[in-house]
Structure 1
């Protein structure tokens, strides 16, 4: 039994089991990069390709190996994974950590940090579309190595695999990880053995382990540097997913899996591909599959296809986590979220996101038809996310760890020195398909900003017309309002005003329950609320009670259970007997609104109408809920 940061005892699986599950979830993306990354270093794509001399092949392998060491091993595995927000990872959790630490230290809430977090999370949605598509396509293309006759089956088979992959998401990342873990372990062992086979035949490629080989290669081939670096970066895609999936497994299983299994397998395979191409340049068409002898290529294709399907999991589960965090932080409307593990609150399934990613992946596979074509769209979203994480690291190290300005700036600068060249190289892809993830990310961020803007505007509108609670208390003392037996719970804002739903109830029904709970639900910038401060109760008199419930952004807000545990006995609160009164607003647009405001308000209204009902989100008993409608002009 391990104690979680919120004070609850949570049973965690043993390290070997957790590491095996993490292999199946976290490392699939980066583990399938050998299918296409090294090939892309020397692909032409309509431009003068880098010459495939033995020296250049060793240099390219050296760049990939050291990118894995510096970007993934040092930056993410050893440093960034330490910046967990009470167990949760990912760029949105990182921005929440910074904002929470800043407020705790008495500073202002850094709005720019939230914007960067939203931008990074939006980019991960875009990456979540492309990663499954390119991974599955590149694996299924192994069929064409076996026989060119199979090329016509590549797209249909890829689509079928994607449908199967997304259909099992509802069973949860933990169960899926345990199922996939042995397959991915077999995959990484196979990567290492194939690479070792090539290295044994041509051991001179071991010179790629020296960073000097990569540096000299860049200097010698400087005129090919940008396209080359964009291809090298494909080998480290999936690094950000390690951080986004932190809440699913924790730091230790990810680190153990990376250093003991994943990194050795990747390094050996890239060196093996360099060895093969140095003696057989014609193998560039499919260097990964041609590392294997003829009789093993069909089994290898099957294993690669399974691994590629699993590779989708890192980004899919990361998108689920980000969506849940965004909803809890008020950046997106409520959506249906299913928690799929009794032991880890970070393991969630979001049906809407699952359906959206499935449709998007199928469209991409049918449209681009090959991994080489998709490679043009791949990478720009990931490198932007990594760069934003590096920028946020400075504030996080200062606020959360108390680092000095000089120390935080030095480490951040080292991160950016590594990533800015990759970012510059990937900008060349914008006209070759890189615009697609940027458009998707921009659309996702636009929706988040619209929701934040609409909620703020709605709050101001309601605040202007709100009735002070003191006025209601005065009427109750004078006996001007008829009371009926029972308890009613009204959702309320933070201030000392009467909820709109309560006012509408008085207007239409002209009665009030003898016990009224004015409930405000607050989402914290931390994964889990402290049980000792999760419920704040104030007796206002005349049967009115103000209650503030606090939930972490990774908690499931179960309002009846929280009220039952937090309210004193004299309130006589029974979850199954209370009446929960909710407002259901419809929005109109004021005559003086600008054209831009009309567009934003229309979008906000659509998002509000399609939000998951509060009844399910707050786990209210459906038979005890009363909804009162209101028309609000914004």
Structure 2
């Protein structure tokens, strides 16, 4: 539970820094009068109840893939069940779009969280206002610079620090509630209804800012594999939800007595002497929240690579014990540049808040649709139960998403632009790989035919050759090129295919499947889950092959490397083919990705029109 508090709830825990403020002074400002204060607080409380407690904790977290959550894990889970059905393509599109929106979230979260915390400097001391931007940029640069060192040591203090932060939220809330105890009446949902009755248009627009209170709800689901559904659920119900509720009520109590405090109610709740320490505590909490979403971006990227939506990238492990602690340099530096440009471009958390909501509500809406499929196809819920539940979720998410679309011009375009770019990249790589496999298959020779017609006439030399093959049925192009140029084969030939299954982890005892074809030929399939670490030499050493035991020093690994040429053949648009060819050219070598020894690898190149 302590670990979950430190990692999972950092994002949603920092929402009080800006959610109430943006509801009243955001793109669609509200008057700080009792009707609006009570109405907004009632919406916040019941939205946390319906979206986080009911939708995510009670329902969505049931849709786990061997304990793992998140859009790709959910997509893989559903794909196994509805594979080949008429909805498969649509489900894949939704899953990829949810992942694309997540990257927009991963850029905005560090920017808005750190900036909103550092803005407390101006509340504590007006003369410190010019320091907000440089201090925020400095903290963010430092945060990304330490990623390569790993988060194991820093992670050990995450839980206690966030625990102190939540305690601070509760104390500030209770202190202000005691001054205006009537604010507790805002827990009555009647106030939310009255808000819409008095001012329906403004209430609808206000939903776009109120939804900021649930930013980070998706993290509960995505990080489920690290801590488990039970730990996350208990932590939410017993600590996080009560502390957040008390703090929001405290901000409302402050506004009842002092409407001018709407400029920054979170920091103005504290007495003057405590505001500077509060900035420190809040900044630490936002750094932790940012760390969680950065680590999430690394994890999602690795899943995308394993599932075939991204090219091979350099993945470094920062912990000898925890396989999940990884660092992907290209993702880290891309996020850093985007986050710093975002902070410098928007310069205030208010501008960023307009951009934040669309990414959050868009992801939540897609998750709802995919969970709806899980209800019917996996859990086999009766329609009389499933339709009302999923209908309620669709209405809630749809209304909040529609409200956020009204902030498109104010900054909402940014996450949609990021999502569009990422979506194009993900789908281009996936489609390009499929087209490339089809082109390679056009001239492929079945293994049985090759052995019968050719293998016996070739000169054989000592040792083992391993040919990496994308297809488990045919002869890989690298073998054909090797025969064409060298006219020899090793006495033992292994045709190796690595398959990524749609489960997070594949049992090690079922890792390899060996088929012996005679004449020294072995077909080996190594299976991995989409969160497993791939280590081909290690797993081959544990695979029983025909002949002598596997010896790395007498083995040569043959890899095919295709130079792709964009053409007008049916497939993708010419510009997408060129993008795919560029991505393929700049992807990490299969040698490094599969952990092959550098001095035992032979690469054979060829050209391929796509």
Q: Shared fold (TM-score greater than 0.5)?
A: yes
Q: Match for residue 89 of structure 1?
A: 69
- What is aligned with 1:531? 508
Out of 260, 269, 279, the residue aligned to residue 257 of structure 2 is 279
2:446 equivalent in structure 1: 468
Change (3 A) 1:388 1:175: farther
> Secondary structure of the equivalent of 2:510?
coil
- Aligned position for 2:15: 33
2:41–2:186 contact (8 Å) kept in structure 1: yes
Kindly report which structure 2 residues correspond to 1:72-471, keeping only aligned pairs within 5 A, or say none: 72-103=52-83, 110-341=88-319, 344-471=322-449
Residue aligned with 2:236, SS: helix
Please tell me whether the aligned partners of residues 23 and 177 of structure 1 are also in contact (alpha carbons under 8 angstroms).
no
2:596 maps to 1:628? no
Cα deviation per residue 1:557-614 (whole Å; 9 max; x = unaligned)?
1111222222246353223431111011111123x44896321111001111121211
SS in 2 for 1:376: helix
Q: Is the 8 A contact 2:317 2:326 kept in 1?
A: yes
Gaps in structure 1 of 5+ consecutive residues? 1-18
Deviation at 1:84, TM superposition (A): 1.3
Paired residues, number: 610
Over residues 463-483 of structure 1, what are the superposed CA-to-partner deviations in whole Å (9 max), with x where a residue is unaligned? 111123233212445x42111
- Give the alignment partner of residue 494 of structure 1, picking from 468, 471, 483: 471
Aligned equivalents of 1:632 and 1:363: distance in 2?
39
Stretches of structure 2 lacking an aligned partner (at least 5 in a row): none
Question: Which one of the candidate residues 611, 614, 618 is aligned to 2:587?
Answer: 611
What is the alpha-carbon distance in structure 2 between the residues aligned to residue 189 and residue 31 of structure 1? 11
Q: Kindly tell me: are residues 93 and 429 of structure 1, through their superposed partners in 2, closer, same or farther at Cα, counting changes over 3 Å? A: same
User: Deviation per CA, 1:314-362, whole angstroms, max 9, x where unpaired?
Assistant: 3212211211111111111111223445665444332221111111111
| Cα distance change on mapping 1:109 and 1:36 into 2, 3 Å | closer
Residue 56 (structure 1) shift: 2.1
Deviations along 1:236-260, whole A, 9 cap, x unmatched? 0110111112223222332232222
Indicate the SS of the match to 2:542: helix
Q: Distance in 2 between matches of 1:285 and 1:92?
A: 39
Please report how far the alpha carbon of residue 279 of structure 1 lies from its aligned counterpart in structure 2 after TM superposition. 0.8
Aligned 8 A contact 2:516 2:546 in 1: no
Give the whole-Å Cα distance in 2 for the aligned partners of 1:261 and 1:451.
43
Task: Check whether the contact 1:58–1:213 (CA below 8 A) recurs between aligned residues.
Answer: yes
- Within the candidate set 551, 574, 577, 1:598 is matched to 574
Q: Which moved more, 1:278-287 or 1:176-185?
A: 176-185
C-alpha distance in 2, partners of 1:582/1:28? 44
CA distance in 1, matches of 2:94, 2:400: 19
CA displacement at 1:530 relative to structure 2: 2.9
Instruction: Determine the C-alpha separation between the residues in 1 that align with 2:137 and 2:365.
Output: 32
CA–CA separation in structure 1 for the residues paired with 2:341 and 2:431 = 32
Query: Quick check: 506-515 or 217-226, which moved more?
Result: 217-226
Residues 1:540 and 2:517 aligned together: yes
Shift of 1:23: 1.9
Establish whether residue 512 from structure 1 lines up as the match of residue 494 from structure 2.
no
Cα gap change, 1:109/1:475 in structure 2, threshold over 3 Å: closer, same or farther? farther
Distance 1:253 1:317 in 2: 20
CA distance in 2, matches of 1:621, 1:21: 37
**Deviations 1:16-67 (Å, cap 9, x if unpaired)?**
xxx222222211111111111101111153x5x3222123212211110111
* Structure 2 match to 1:3: none
Counterparts of 1:228 and 1:126, CA distance in 2 = 22
Q: Residues 79-117 of structure 1: CA distance to partner in whole angstroms, max 9, x if unpaired?
A: 2122111121101110110011234xx867812111110
State the Cα distance separating 1:208 from its structure 2 match: 1.2
- In structure 2, the partner of 1:56 is 36
- Asked whether the 8 Å contact 1:191–1:266 carries over to 2, the reply is yes
Residue 488 of structure 1 deviates from its aligned partner by 0.6
Partners of 2:42 and 2:569 in 1: CA distance:
58
Aligned to 1:484: 461
C-alpha contact (below 8 Å) 1:248/1:344 kept by paired residues: no
